[in-house]
Chains A and B, each alone.
Chain A
């Protein structure tokens, strides 16, 4: 190779890549296995939320995407659980998610927030038929030029 400088630069850039992690309110990804069910969502509310605006958009997304709608709902950083109320046209369901909050300082980033699986035996409480909660760190464990690995955070699969 005549000029190794670009390669060295690329290695330096990749080596220097660091995922600080989230420094804002976290969200959980909720996937509904609606199947043949034609549930229409009227409203989502979160207990203790000061602003319910974000949930209106999620309701629209739910009603326009079939059969496996994905929602992205914020969780409270002020408590170790968040409770959502899903109001459908013919039923009302609740989902309480439990988690351990983790706030720590990261060099060159500042304070970052993350969650862990709760210590309690059941990570959620719900009136839905089946709820499966997966916990992953919100901080990527490997960063690449195309994105990275990990950092998925909390994901929930619901069968109504």
Chain B
């Protein structure tokens, strides 16, 4: 029994010793503050409508100089832009996603580049219709819930300090992902972005702004 306790203590010491090597201070907590806003301000013009996007982050430096790791998760729920000329005029989507970014900071400017994996689980619901000039339109609802996309996200950032604790991060990103399931072509794929008319392989990108808080 004593040996077992000793072994556990030794393990904990070893884990803690190595954990210290994984990251060093400061640690930043972040939140995407832009992604969902245009969908409420311009619901008829933007490619998504009334979409809630919550995307928190944790960022910490590694032992290697100018290197950091970003861990993020997100939830998105909303509607794609309505287009009555299409068979599926708009889609309702919701999904959760997880991403990790391995970053390298520029030595002269407050800029970083990063790349890392992304995993997104999403569901879609929409109405489709067939025009029926003689007997009336046929309308039906479909659900497409078994959607999993795995891919990689690359990004470039510019960090603007606002105060000692707060900073804004302007970010441009590009994502490639492959879907392992799902039926329909999604207009917007949570965590990935605008993916209209794409089926198996998804490509997207965009710009956003994140607010970071320095914890310690």
**Are A111 and B128 in contact, with the CB atoms below 8 A?**
yes
Total A-B residue contacts, Cβ distance less than 8 Å: 60
Interface of A is mostly: loop
Which residues of B in the span 125-184 have a Cβ within 8 Å of any Cβ on A? 128, 130-136, 138, 140, 142, 183-184
> Is residue B20 contacting chain A, with contact meaning CB distance below 8 A?
no
Q: A-side interface residues toward B, CB under 8 Å? A: 23-25, 46, 48-51, 54, 74-79, 82, 103, 105, 107-108, 110-111, 113
What CA separation (Å) do A76 and B136 show in the bound complex?
A: 8
What CA separation (Å) do A24 and B142 show in the bound complex?
A: 18
Q: B-side interface residues toward A, CB under 8 Å? A: 87-88, 128, 130-136, 138, 140, 142, 183-185, 199
Q: Which residues of A contact B183 (CB under 8 A)?
A: 105
Residue A23 contacts which of B87, B140, B142, B185 (CB distance < 8 angstroms)?
B87
Q: Which residues of A contact B128 (CB under 8 A)?
A: 110-111
Which residue of B has the minimal Cβ distance to A104? B183
Q: Which residues of B contact A82 (CB under 8 A)?
A: 135
**Are A46 and B135 in contact, with the CB atoms below 8 A?**
yes
**Are A24 and B130 in contact, with the CB atoms below 8 A?**
yes
Known: A78-B136, A103-B140. A25 touches B88 (CB 8 A): no
Q: Which residues of B contact A111 (CB under 8 A)?
A: 87-88, 128, 130, 142
Known: A105-B142, A107-B199, A110-B87. A54 touches B134 (CB 8 A): yes
Residue A48 contacts which of B135, B138, B142 (CB distance < 8 angstroms)?
B135
What CA separation (Å) do A46 and B132 show in the bound complex?
A: 14
**Are B87 and A51 in contact, with the CB atoms below 8 A?**
no
Which residue of A has the minimal Cβ distance to B197? A108
Residue B135 contacts which of A50, A105, A107 (CB distance < 8 angstroms)?
A50
- Show 9 A/B contacts (Cβ-Cβ < 8 Å), sorted by A: A25-B131, A25-B134, A46-B134, A50-B135, A54-B134, A76-B132, A76-B135, A103-B130, A111-B128
Q: Which residues of A contact B134 (CB under 8 A)?
A: 25, 46, 49-51, 54, 74, 76
**Are A108 and B130 in contact, with the CB atoms below 8 A?**
no
Q: Which residues of A contact B133 (CB under 8 A)?
A: 25, 51, 54, 74
Residue B138 contacts which of A49, A78, A108 (CB distance < 8 angstroms)?
A78
Interface centre among B88, B131, B134 (most CB of A within 10 A): B134
Which residue of A has the minimal Cβ distance to B199? A107
**Are A25 and B135 in contact, with the CB atoms below 8 A?**
yes
Known: A110-B87, A110-B128. A77 touches B184 (CB 8 A): no
Shortest CB distance B202–A (Å): 14
Known: A23-B87, A77-B138. A108 touches B132 (CB 8 A): no
**Are B88 and A78 in contact, with the CB atoms below 8 A?**
no
Q: Which residues of A contact B136 (CB under 8 A)?
A: 50, 78
Shortest CB distance A4–B (Å): 29
Residue B130 contacts which of A25, A54, A107 (CB distance < 8 angstroms)?
A25
